[in-house]
Amino acid sequence: MLRLCSTSLSRQQILKENKITFIQCDNGFDEETLELSSPRSFVYTAAVCKYKKALETYGLELPLLVVDSVIECANTLQRKPKNQKEAKEFLQMQSGSSIHILSCCILHSNKFYFINLGKTTYEFSSFDLDDLEVYLQSQQWQNKAGAVMVEGFHKKYIKKQIGSTSNAMGLHFEAIQPFLELL
């Protein structure tokens, strides 16, 4: 049993599919307070700040799992879009381009502390404009870094992938799996 300090449905899905028992809660950290523009710096700093807040709030009664993910497209940080207009801007930038999905995962128990920085790269074909509008109207892009949904909208546009799909969905499961066996 562990404490997933994230409200992400994708992370929840990954743990459930891998039969990991967990309690899900908010990490309690407002990443809007971070003023970083470098995707790599942002994802690392956000994860560490979320971890510190979760540790302070929950302690280690249960092992803590804290994760943050961002998108890097054209050397630009893409976080969760604030509205549909911003989601459309992100998606238009990604269309026919490459993105890097960066994640930072911290797993901490009484037995160990593990941190992992992951990167998954996708090269996309150009998005169909009608399909893009349907995706935007669906609201499925909400709470997704860069409005990216590799298991949904983006899937049919993938030309090339380098890295883990689970990392792209928000939790690099292959990296933490050996450590989960120690819990």
Catalytic residues: 68
In single-letter form, the type of residue at position 176 comes to I
Cβ-Cβ contacts under 8 Å for 57 (sequence gap 6 or more): 28
- DSSP codes, 61-122: SS-EEEEEEEEEETTEEE-S-SSHHHHHHHHHHHTTSEEEEEEEEEEE-SS-EEEEEEEEEE
Are the beta carbons of 173 and 120 closer than 8 angstroms?
Answer: no
Q: How far apart are CA 135 and CA 122, in angstroms?
A: 19
Continuous segment of H or E residues that includes residue 177: helix 173-180
Pairing verdict, β 98-108 and 113-124: antiparallel
